[in-house]
Amino acid sequence: LEFQGLPMDPRLIEERIHPYGRVDLGEVPFAMANFAKRLGINAQSYCHGTLEGLAEHLRKGCVVIVMINYRHGTGHLVNLLGFDRDDRHIVAVRLRNPWGFDETMPAEQFREEWHCLRQCRNSKLGCWLPVFDAGYMVIAPSHVVLPPPPA
């Protein structure tokens, strides 16, 4: 939201973006996008994404936030900074971790951590709920038309 010029205090946002009410199981892209939309920001959340789809949003000047099983753990939101490519494919994904550092993750590892999001380490629940598979949120400049999520 600060990207859009809105100074935000995480304490004001937290309770409004938890999909499980006061139970703190973390944030998810759809709740964050809905909150941004209520503020009048051009935002949308998606599931079943692809690396090329993410790259297209970045090319349009959008902010992209993805939810991954960070380091094979549980769900963690990271900002997408860009991609490294060879002649034909995306080979690495550049991320900004809200824990205060940037990193580059091999594309195959990113795909693995992006799919079938787990809310807890011992559950495959994320594999059965489409909202938790390759989920991400996009915040776009006002002139960019964001497609609706597939039905």
| Arithmetic mean of pLDDT, 25-52 | 84
How high is the mean pLDDT of the chain?
81
CA dist 115 and 107 (Å) reads 12
Kindly list the distances between the CA atom of residue 11 and the CA atoms of 14, 30, 150, in Å, as whole numbers in the listed order.
5, 19, 32
* Sign of the CA dihedral running 43, 25, 112, 2: positive
Q: How confident is the model at residue 130 (pLDDT cuts 50, 70, 90)?
A: very low
Higher model confidence: residue 129 or residue 62? 62
CA dist 150 and 33 (Å) reads 15
Kindly list the distances between the CA atom of residue 61 and the CA atoms of 8, 57, 98, 105, 135, in Å, as whole numbers in the listed order.
21, 7, 20, 21, 19
Q: How confident is the model at residue 99 (pLDDT cuts 50, 70, 90)?
A: confident
The β-bridge partners of 94 are 82, 104
pLDDT for 107 equals: 97
pLDDT for 101 equals: 93
The β-bridge partners of 75 are 69
Q: How confident is the model at residue 147 (pLDDT cuts 50, 70, 90)?
A: very high
Q: How confident is the model at residue 75 (pLDDT cuts 50, 70, 90)?
A: confident
Q: How confident is the model at residue 80 (pLDDT cuts 50, 70, 90)?
A: very high
What would the two tokens of residue 108 be?
């195959």
Share above pLDDT 70 across residues of the chain, in percent, rounded to a whole number: 72
pLDDT for 82 equals: 97
Q: How confident is the model at residue 18 (pLDDT cuts 50, 70, 90)?
A: low
- Look at residues 10, 21, 65, 27 and name the one whose alpha carbon lies nearest to residue 43: 65
Q: Pairing relation of β-strands 101-106 and 136-139?
A: unpaired
What would the two tokens of residue 86 be?
């060879």
CA dist 18 and 30 (Å) reads 10
